[in-house]
Structure 1
Amino acid sequence: MMHKELLDCMDTFLRQLMGSDKPFGGKLVVVIFDFRQLPPVVVGGNRASVASKSIKNSRVWKHIQLRHLNRNMRVERLIGDTTDFDRILQLRWFATWLLQIGDGLILTNRVGSRNLIQMPPQMICRSAQELRDTVFPNFLERHIDMEWLSTRACLGCRNDLVQQRNNEMIDLLPGDIFESVSINLCVNDEDNRFYDT
């Protein structure tokens, strides 16, 4: 999310540009944000410094009219793509659960300075293999189906974990591993002077 200074800067710029003292120079400005998802980034900052940079602390915040979206279009699209009643219930439950987290309605456990949320049992994979089999069922039969693969992903909090999962998936693939290397040459020799080699 943007820092409050950026919103204030946009306000100042539009006031000067339009020659008006009205907020944003009298122009309609649409700002889309979700406080649940991404707070402003403050390098090395604590919770208070992050909150102080929120656009809620901008001098123009009092002029902003909030409009709330009330339909989860991603979930509705996914529901429209399936006739599996259990899958539909699962998608609706998950969307509701995420909103409850964002609204602070899910109980947390205080551990040190952090509030931790107990994950529901159905969302926990107890091993790397269980995670792989859950996200990529029938991987060996479907690994060449690019459309199927493009609908799945495992996200990791550290690059080394991601690399480890990638290597495990590669090891499952049939055939030998080969490496393709590229060569960068200019088509026109005269262009070589523009590029370091």
Structure 2
Amino acid sequence: MRLSLSENTNIQELRNFAEWLLKIGDGLAGDTTDGESIVHIPSDILVKNSETALDDLIDFVYPDMLSNLSVENYFKDRAILAPTLDCVTDVNNKMTAELPGQERAYLSSDSMCTKEENMEFELDAFSPEILINGINCLGLPPHKLVLKVSAPVMLLWNIDQTNGL
């Protein structure tokens, strides 16, 4: 991977690449035209536009994934950065589909506790779609979370520190 250090790593090239990534993240890279920027991506890191682009990207970042599922740092040492949560969902769904085993879906709670005096109003005003089913935002899991045995899961909060979660 381009950001890994080895004996043959050119430190200046690595530093330039890191600065370029930071400029992109800060919105400073590229030529600004009418509020939009055109960023030129080096050809050696460009995923060619094809029908298998996502498969090619996953294979590049996670080579031989199925035989490395039990390797402790395999997933910790790699990442695919995505511009939107929809792209993250596509990558996660694609990678989960490649894992062996049967999928299991977990649904979020989509009801609310209501007081009796406001029950009819609250039930009409806050349907399940409004509460969470249609929300896809940072920090919340999707309404339907599909997992398989051996699928890596990243916890964003310390849920139960005494048990290692």
TM class by shorter chain equals: 0.3 to 0.5
More strand by proportion, 1 or 2? 2
More helix by proportion, 1 or 2? 1
> With structure 2 as the length reference, what TM-score do the two structures score?
0.48
Q: Which has the larger radius of gyration?
A: 1
Structure with the bigger RCO (C-alpha within 8 Å, sep 6+) is 2
